[in-house]
Structure 1
Amino acid sequence: MITIIKNKTLKTLALCCALGVNFALSGCGAGDSVQAQSNPSTLATKDLSAFVNTFWYVPQAYTLAYSYSSSTNPKTTAVSDQTIWHFTSANGGYLLGCSFTSTNNGASWTSATIVGSVTANNTVSLGFFGGLVTVGSGILTSSSGQPAFLMQMSSGIASTGLTHWAYMLPITSSDPSWSSLPATNNVSVPTATASGC
């Protein structure tokens, strides 16, 4: 057990209250102690087996992203970003799979290998490994009664990059978007993912 004793400064008091999500607080008043609690009944990992062999995409409302280039003026430009995830396996709170991204209406796709994790409290961190390394963070939540990843991602190098936040929703062959993905010129999920990763 870790005990942190707060002093009476406003800054420390604010920190104490801000950490209340992760710590059991007895008050938050001056002189109170904050104790880190471990709960043996809390699972260390989340069962993600239901995600195996599922596909996820960006709905039209969330395709807006911004690209950066040091050689253009203005340096930031609005683009449409369609991204497809295909999870192929899950183990011990980790999700593995492939990601496919296009910012040119589906004319070309960039693939990456996904190695990510979802904790028992639904926080998400996904690593995308390909030509560049991208780290996306977010939460596993729901949208319109279905599971959804709410993600924030940035990738690039010093001279170019892309930043995008989006809800990633599940997609199957019965969805109209399967054969005509948003922000593409009628590109299907099978076409977008044909290259593998």
Structure 2
Amino acid sequence: MTPPRTDYAWLAGTYWYCAAACMPALRTLPGNRFEPVIDQTVWSIAGYADGYFWGVASALVTPAGSEPDASGKNDMTFFASVTPQGRVHITFVHGDGSTTIGTGSIGGQGDPRFEMQMSSGAGPVLVVHWAYMLRVTPDDPQWHRLPGAGVSVEAMVGDIAAPIGINPQSGSRA
């Protein structure tokens, strides 16, 4: 018997950011080299249905020790699945059609968080990162000034158009 899907409908309309302690990542470079970077990623979850969620995200990768420049953020849409046990698989779609895959889980007693791993890039230049993604609201100081980005949540994801679902029965938008 197939287990019932757990209802993660509460995810719709939430925002998530990378905790400051989890921003260090690695970027590989040509010539078998790598450098430490800071990766601030923000998600805006637009919707949820039947074990799937979707939305927009933006990542700002800055060489460690450098000042972040939000004009270099990388905007994406994403589509994800979450199992009844809280395992998560997210496909981030960049503007050029390339993808980044993130895997992990959602958990936490009363204060949910995502624990995620990802690898992004092509050829000799990749970014590898693991992080706790924490929920953020307009009442939190991080909403107004994200660690590792120096800008607000709205500045990171507020200008990205969310994916729009189509209802296959009626042809209308979900």
Q: Secondary structure of 2:159's partner?
A: coil
Indicate whether 1:174 and 2:170 are aligned. Answer: no
Tell me the TM-score normalised to structure 2 length. Answer: 0.83
RMSD of aligned residue pairs (Cα, Å): 1.5
Q: CA deviation at 1:193?
A: 1.3
- 1:62 paired to 2:22: yes
Which protein, 1 or 2, shows the higher relative CO under an 8 Å CA cutoff with sep ≥ 6? 2
Q: Distance in 2 between matches of 1:94 and 1:46?
A: 11
Of residues 38, 41, 44, the one that matches 1:83 is 41
Q: CA deviation at 1:172?
A: 0.3
Q: Distance in 2 between matches of 1:152 and 1:46?
A: 22
The normalised TM-score by structure 1 is: 0.73
Q: Are 1:156 and 2:121 counterparts? A: yes
What do residues 6-40 of structure 1 show as CA deviations (whole Å, max 9, x unaligned)? xxxxxxxxxxxxxxxxxxxxxxxxxxxxxxxxx45
Partner residue of 1:97 out of 39, 48, 55? 55
Q: Which stretches in structure 1 are left out of the alignment for 5+ residues?
A: 1-38
* 1:81 partner SS: strand
Deviation at 1:59, TM superposition (A): 1.0
Mapped pair 1:135 → 2:93? no
Instruction: Give runs of aligned pairs for residues 14-93 of structure 1, distance below 5 A.
Output: 39-40=1-2, 42-43=3-4, 45-70=5-30, 75-93=33-51
Question: Could you list the per-position Cα deviations for residues 140-193 of structure 1 after superposition, in whole angstroms to 9, with x for gaps in the alignment?
Answer: 1117x4001000000111121101100001000000111110112x21111111
Which amino acid counterpart does residue 27 of structure 2 have in structure 1? S
Amino acid at match of 1:166: A
Q: For the residues of structure 2 that align with 1:82 and 1:109, how far apart are their CA atoms?
A: 9
Does 2:78 correspond to 1:114? Answer: yes
Structure 1 consecutive aligned stretches of length 4 or more whose deviation exceeds 3 Å: none
Q: Which structure 2 residue ranges, 5 or more long, are not aligned?
A: 63-67, 162-174
